[in-house]
């Protein structure tokens, strides 16, 4: 049997796993991003619609409860509304932005003064596949995506994602993540005892908020919002440097959070009351 070399796309690691050469006594093997995406396209990953990769290990994005899904829909509506509002005030010659739904373009043209960093369109997507490094592919709950100008002509990031290839971190203007109390890495008994590859198992739950932020920062994603479902506030993390975010701002419910990568675009945070309202502390 020919031994494959571990180079570039991770196919050798994925192929060896498929032949069952990993025993449960060996350390858990790591999977490359390209191998994970290839297996995802071929139907070889469990929970394919929610599967993610962090540091070579496969997990499944947490299934959102009804209240959380409603909250995300509200945030998405705010993002799209902010883009439309910016379009109405955009000067001639400014870049046209298009808001896209997961299944296709929604048909609402929007524009904003975004300088020269991006070549339109800018799109809002749910659970977009974002490549954060050679062994990490995460799905932010929401993402604002744009094709950087230096990429030149080509398809919008959403087309790359729908084709199963994922999009580079450089195309992420903003990532939005819900911070929930039950976030963390938990592995099922089947996952711990199985001899199958990480891609075939895919039975872990979502990674912790801290681990996700570290991955985004290491990849240079310029802005991440962590929306706290329980407290009702939003933390904006910006200025990634050395694998961490150097700027952190806390925004209370009802305050407008600016999208720093887009001029004149700001989104109202959660409509819930601040935690002290209606309590004994609030009078």
Superfamily of segment(s) 11-268:
tt1808, chain A (3.90.1570.10)
**What is the pLDDT at residue 141?**
95
**What is the pLDDT at residue 198?**
43
Residue 219: CB partners within 8 Å, gap ≥ 6? 131, 132, 133, 136, 169, 240
**What is the pLDDT at residue 102?**
34
Alpha helices in the chain (DSSP H): 11-18, 33-41, 66-88, 157-162, 189-193, 198-201, 209-219
Tokens 């971190």 belong to 169
CA distance 130 to 219: 10
| Concatenated DSSP letters of 114-148 | -TTSEEEEEEEEES--EEEETTEEE--SEEEEEEE
| Concatenated DSSP letters of 174-203 | EEEEEE-TT-S----HHHHH--S-HHHH--
Look at the alpha carbons of 110, 112, 114, 115 in this order and tell me if their dihedral is positive or negative: positive
Residue 231: CB partners within 8 Å, gap ≥ 6? 275
- Tens of pLDDT along the chain (283 residues) come to 434 333 344 333 443 333 332 333 334 578 899 888 888 888 888 788 889 999 999 988 888 888 888 888 888 888 888 877 776 665 444 444 443 333 333 333 344 444 445 555 678 899 999 999 999 999 999 999 987 767 767 777 777 777 778 889 999 999 999 986 554 433 333 334 344 444 444 445 567 889 999 999 999 999 999 998 888 789 999 999 988 999 999 998 888 889 888 877 888 766 444 444 444 433 3
């Amino acid at each position: 049997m020919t031994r494959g070399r571990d180079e570039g796309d991770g196919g050798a690691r994925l192929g060896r796993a498929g032949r069952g050469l990993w025993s449960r006594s060996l350390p858990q093997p790591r999977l490359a991003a390209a191998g994970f995406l290839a297996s995802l396209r071929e139907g070889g990953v469990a929970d394919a619609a929610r599967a993610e990769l962090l540091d070579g290990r496969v997990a499944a994005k947490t299934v959102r409860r009804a209240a959380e899904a409603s909250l995300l829909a509200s945030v998405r509506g705010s993002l799209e509304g902010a883009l439309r509002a910016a379009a109405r005030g955009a000067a001639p010659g400014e870049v046209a932005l298009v808001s896209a739904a997961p299944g296709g373009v929604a048909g609402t043209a929007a524009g904003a003064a975004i300088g020269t960093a991006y070549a339109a369109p800018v799109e809002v997507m749910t659970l977009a596949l974002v490549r954060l490094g050679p062994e990490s592919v995460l799905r932010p709950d929401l993402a604002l995506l744009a094709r950087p100008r230096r990429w030149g002509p080509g398809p919008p990031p959403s087309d790359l994602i729908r084709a199963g290839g994922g999009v580079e971190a450089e195309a992420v203007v903003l990532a939005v993540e819900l911070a929930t109390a039950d976030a963390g890495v938990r592995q099922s008994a089947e996952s711990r005892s199985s001899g199958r590859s990480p891609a075939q198992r895919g039975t872990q739950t979502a990674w912790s908020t801290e681990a996700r932020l570290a991955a985004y920062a290491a990849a240079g994603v310029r802005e991440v919002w962590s929306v706290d479902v329980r407290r009702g506030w939003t933390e904006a993390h910006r200025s990634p440097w050395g694998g961490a975010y150097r700027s952190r701002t806390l925004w209370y419910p009802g305050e407008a959070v600016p999208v720093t990568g887009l001029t004149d675009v700001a989104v109202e945070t959660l409509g819930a009351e601040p935690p002290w309202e209606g309590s004994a502390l609030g009078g």
